[in-house]
Amino acid sequence: MKKILAILCIGLGMTSYAQEFEVSAELKPRFEYRHGYKTLAVDSVDAAAFVSQRTRLNLGYNSETFNAYFSLQNVRVWGDVATLATSDKNGTAIHQAWAEVFLNKQFSLKFGRQEISYDDQRIFGSVDWAQQARSHDALIVTYKPNVNNRIDLGLAISSEDETLFEADYTVNNYKSFQYVWYHTNLNDFGLSILALNNGYAFYDENYEQQVDYNQTFGTHATYGKNKIKADASFYFQTGKIADRDLSAYNVALNLHYAITPEFNVGFGGEYLSGTDMNATNNKLESFNPWYGTNHKFNGWMDYFYVGNHINNVGLLDINATIAYQKNKFSAKLVPHFFSSAATIVDSTGDELSNGLGTEIDMVLGYKFSKDILFQVGYSQMFATESMEVIKGGDKDATNNWAWAMISVKPSLFKTSFKKDETTNP
């Protein structure tokens, strides 16, 4: 009987496509105590304490011809609306809504609202720590000639509305970008190359909107074998930002060694060039990591590049990592030693030390189940006078930050089935 059905399917030109549909959710409440988070505190001001929460509903569809994904999210702070409120403060937003069409075995098109994440997420990342996270309205063309090589071409163009004629773009966002990303795997090595062209709108001296373009070129390499893991990256930026010439660079190197299967140590450093505070020219030498997951880098207290420290004196971050993980428990300790990459001057014009301070980060985790993770963290900043100059606040205040978070990510419904299509012979 099976043979007869198979012959009939072939004769009718019938093709079966495997398909998968999944409904998943995410609930992530996080308590935070802030007294010196992102900037130095002043002891005369009390600490902030609140609970923020991300809630998501995700729909995913996969098949041999196309994939689609839809993610609704609500981001709130507990108590930001009254218990009898008729509307929400932030409402519900579309975080992702995209489709990926497979043109053939090598080429695909992915378009719509989507997260873009590459390599260690230094230039492009999902920014998952932030409750709202980051997503882009973009088109990505992917070419995969084989399992070890991939090329992505990304394109985006931004407008505020459907208009009949050109209109100013006033959203705090890029006007357009284009990039090419290439990745290859070579046994124990991985290598990526990125070329990114950014267009940002600004108003000139006549208050007419113009668009300047800047370029980021760079590479990211990884190595992993036995107990050793390492990564290195180098990026260079040029072009213009708001009619200022840009020339900046970023270099990073990290090495990790597994002493035992549970115990890991690491050492790393990153240099992001900056602009001297006493510079007399109009040249911008501050590196910008653009759309990266910056909370992952340069200390979890987010003093640098998390919505701040842009076009500033840059940064030298020397850090170490001590990590332990066994069964459901994990722990990590990460000290950072910060210095500026460019000259810092005080209000009188005198040059100050480049040393900015030391940050100690700690986190404990417990994976209760495959869907539920508990985490608690504590960080403290020991700042210098130079940090006071660029951040304000009081270096002698107790600058600390503590948090506790529960991440719940259940799969609510999942099914696989086959769809038969009849084609003419």
The pLDDT value recorded for residue 317 is: 98
The pLDDT value recorded for residue 16 is: 59
In a domain, 264, yes or no: yes
Among 272, 266, 262, CA closest to 230: 266
In a domain, 5, yes or no: no
Query: Please, which residues have CB within 8 angstroms of residue 177's CB and are 6 or more apart in sequence?
Result: 138, 154, 155, 156, 196, 197, 198, 199
Query: Please, which residues have CB within 8 angstroms of residue 255's CB and are 6 or more apart in sequence?
Result: 228, 229, 230, 266, 267, 268
Q: What are phi and psi of 90, to 5 degrees?
A: -95, -15
In a domain, 4, yes or no: no
In a domain, 318, yes or no: yes
- Judged by DSSP in three states, 9 sits in helix
In a domain, 65, yes or no: yes
Query: Please, which residues have CB within 8 angstroms of residue 2's CB and are 6 or more apart in sequence?
Result: none
The pLDDT value recorded for residue 204 is: 94
Distance of alpha carbon 292 from alpha carbon 316, whole angstroms: 18
Among 392, 395, 397, 321, CA closest to 360: 321
Q: Specify the pTM.
A: 0.92
The pLDDT value recorded for residue 421 is: 58
Query: Please, which residues have CB within 8 angstroms of residue 53's CB and are 6 or more apart in sequence?
Result: 27, 28, 29, 30, 75, 76, 77, 78, 131
Q: What angle do CA 294, 300, 302 make, to 5 degrees?
A: 60
Distance of alpha carbon 210 from alpha carbon 223, whole angstroms: 43
| pLDDT mean for each 10 residues of the chain (425 residues) | 41 62 98 97 93 98 96 97 93 97 97 98 98 98 97 97 95 97 96 98 94 98 96 98 96 98 97 95 95 97 96 97 97 98 94 97 97 98 97 95 98 86 50
Distance of alpha carbon 59 from alpha carbon 98, whole angstroms: 11
The pLDDT value recorded for residue 358 is: 98
In a domain, 16, yes or no: no
Residue 392 domain boundaries: 22-81+89-422
In a domain, 311, yes or no: yes
The pLDDT value recorded for residue 13 is: 44
Half-sphere exposure of residue 386, counting CA atoms within 13 Å on the CB side? 22
In a domain, 348, yes or no: yes
The pLDDT value recorded for residue 345 is: 95
Could you give the number of structural domains in the chain?
1
Query: Please, which residues have CB within 8 angstroms of residue 414's CB and are 6 or more apart in sequence?
Result: 20, 21, 22, 23
List the CATH number of the domain containing 404.
2.40.160.100
Query: Please, which residues have CB within 8 angstroms of residue 12's CB and are 6 or more apart in sequence?
Result: 422, 425
Distance of alpha carbon 364 from alpha carbon 325, whole angstroms: 10
CB distance 29 to 51 below 8 Å? yes
